[in-house]
Chains A and B, each alone.
Chain A
Amino acid sequence: MYDDDHDALAAEYVLGTLSAAERDQVEALLARDAGFAETVRLWEHRLGELNVMVEAVEPPPDLWERIKTGIDGAERRTQAASEAVEPADVLSEPADAAASAASPQIDASAEPSPQTVPDLLSDRAQGSEDSKTADIASTLLPSGPAAESADQLPKSTAPQASTGAETAPPHQNVGRWRGLAIGASAIAVLLAAYIAITHLTPGLISLGRQPQIITGALKPLAVPQLVAVLQQEPTAPAFLVMLDPQQRTITIRRLTAAPDSGRSYELWLNSNKLPNPTSLGPVGNSEVTTRSIPPNIDVETMRSATYSVSLEPGGGSATGAPSGPTLFKGRMIDAAPGSSE
């Protein structure tokens, strides 16, 4: 059986925090140790659901044609000519070229392989036959092994399905990879805080104005700077609240069932800098609601506030203050380092 070192290694592999050298070792181990592969699969299962919180972004429309050309090329090597090709498929011609020039990755797929590690590392796996699992675990102890040199990169070039001008030739891709920047300033980072609920006693009535609804759908690539999870008990988060101080918008993602018809959830901002809870408006019935922050509330207040959700009559509280029970509550946590302000 595997010890905690192995489990932590598998977990960090799935999380993505290992160095290049450590990832190579894990991938070598994966190829020859079915038990370890199962451990990794378990971690993919445990952590994989986090993808739900990643904002969907539409890829360019022409990407499908490139993928389709790629699979047409791959398919011809393994199956009889497909009858399912769409009419007027102008890309079928380049597909033949792509098939004949296909990378070893495609060839390898022709024979069934239980291996799920990236193909580009399979040769390295052979070279690491001697490595013991203990060696791998021990590499976690010394500080960061040097990253593998970038000469690994060219091997990993994808089969370039289309031969058209829209796809750069592989040698250019290498340059792009080398120049890859993952600066925090442009990468949207979702962070969440999970805060146990303590039931909130609503303050007195105020005449809070309800902010105007900007849009019903989350703007793609919106970069939430702060996130709170509103929940009633530690195991039942029900709303994710994402605050973008620059756009002065707040986005509410509903993770729980919509209220019964005739009732609404309403989001409130509670701050000791404000005399009363401020309504941020009813939470829409769609999964995501985006609203603007009222102009009288500054960024610091937004950051430090407690957010809560109450159950109100349909359309929201008629009084301007929470009139129904407060069901969920949470606080913002700081977000992407170096990317705010």
Chain B
Amino acid sequence: MLMQTELVWLLGAVARGDETAFQRLYEATRAKLYGVLVRILGRPALAEEVMEETYLKVWKTADQFDPATASPITWMVAMARNRAIDIVRRQGDIAIDEEPEAAPEPAADTPAPLARREMTAELKRLLGCLGRLDPEKQRIVLLAYYSGWSRDHLANKLDIPVNTIRTWLRRSLLEIRECMGA
């Protein structure tokens, strides 16, 4: 298991052009990033493309990573999610009811180093704050995060007026902010 400090160290080495460190960083983070992307994009081939883009971007922008303001994995996941959501949003939410490709079938016993870390204080705080929201609002926030759904898509899938979704999202996010402190 790689601890966060090791990932920070690896990113520092990557910023200096260390390919070995980059490979270790990839090995420690690939399954988490791919899991996030497959969930949002649905299609393994597309998830692989975004993986390539994301790691190339990590390689090129590792020197911009600031351990004081982010953890390596959240930094990398945010990068991958942003790209995936841009792609999904740009091709429109029209195709949402099409059947996606079959889900990938990775080896059943592959290690997932980052999945084994202990819960961070930040996650505890976040879950505690999410827990204060009504269940239906927890639901839309988590659906949006994990599936990358737009407000329209949420409204469509949950059969809730989009203006209600809009109001709930805004209120929920601002409540989370207040709860977590500035």
Contact = CB atoms under 8 A, between A and B. Distances in A.
Contact of B114 (A56, A79, A333): A56
B20 A161 contact: no
Interface in B110-155: 110, 112, 114-120, 122-128, 130-132, 135, 138-139, 141-154
A88 interface: no
Contacts of B170: 8, 12, 140
A52 B142 CA distance: 13
Contact of A49 (B48, B74, B116): B74
Contacts of A118: 82-83, 86
Contacts of B143: 189, 191, 336
A144 B142 contact: no
Interface in A197-213: none
Contact of A153 (B43, B91, B103): B91
A12, A49, A112, most chain B CB atoms within 10 A:
A49
Contacts, number: 354
A60 B48 contact: yes
Given A158-B53, A194-B130, A186 B149 contact: no
Interface in B52-100: 52-53, 55-56, 59-61, 63-64, 69-71, 73-75, 77-78, 81-83, 85-93, 95-100
B30 A180 contact: no
B115 A287 contact: yes
A71, A74, A161, most chain B CB atoms within 10 A:
A71
B158 A70 contact: no
Contacts of A59: 30-31, 34, 47-48, 51, 106
If over half of A's interface residues share one DSSP class (helix, strand or loop), that class is named, otherwise mixed; here it is loop
Interface in A132-154: 140, 143-144, 147-148, 150, 152-153
Given A147-B92, A152-B90, A176-B46, A183 B99 contact: yes
Contacts of A191: 138-139, 142-143, 146
Given A74-B59, A116-B64, A82 B128 contact: no
Contacts of B100: 180-183, 186-187
Contact of A156 (B61, B63, B87): B87
Contacts of B117: 52
B168 to A, nearest CB: 11
A177 B46 contact: yes
Contacts of B3: none
A20 to B, nearest CB: 4
Interface string A1-30: 000100110011011111110010000000
Interface in A210-254: 217-221, 229, 231, 234-237
Contacts of B162: 143-144
Contacts of B173: 7-8, 11-12, 15
Nearest to A44: B78
A56 B115 CA distance: 7
A274 interface: no
13 contacts: A11-B174, A15-B144, A15-B173, A17-B151, A49-B74, A50-B142, A75-B17, A150-B91, A180-B42, A182-B95, A182-B147, A229-B131, A288-B115
Interface of A: 4, 7-8, 11-12, 14-20, 23, 41, 44-60, 63-64, 66-68, 70-71, 74-75, 79, 82, 84-85, 105-106, 109, 112, 114, 116, 118, 120, 140, 143-144, 147-148, 150, 152-153, 156, 158-159, 161, 168, 173, 176-196, 217-221, 229, 231, 234-237, 255-257, 286-288, 333-334, 336-338
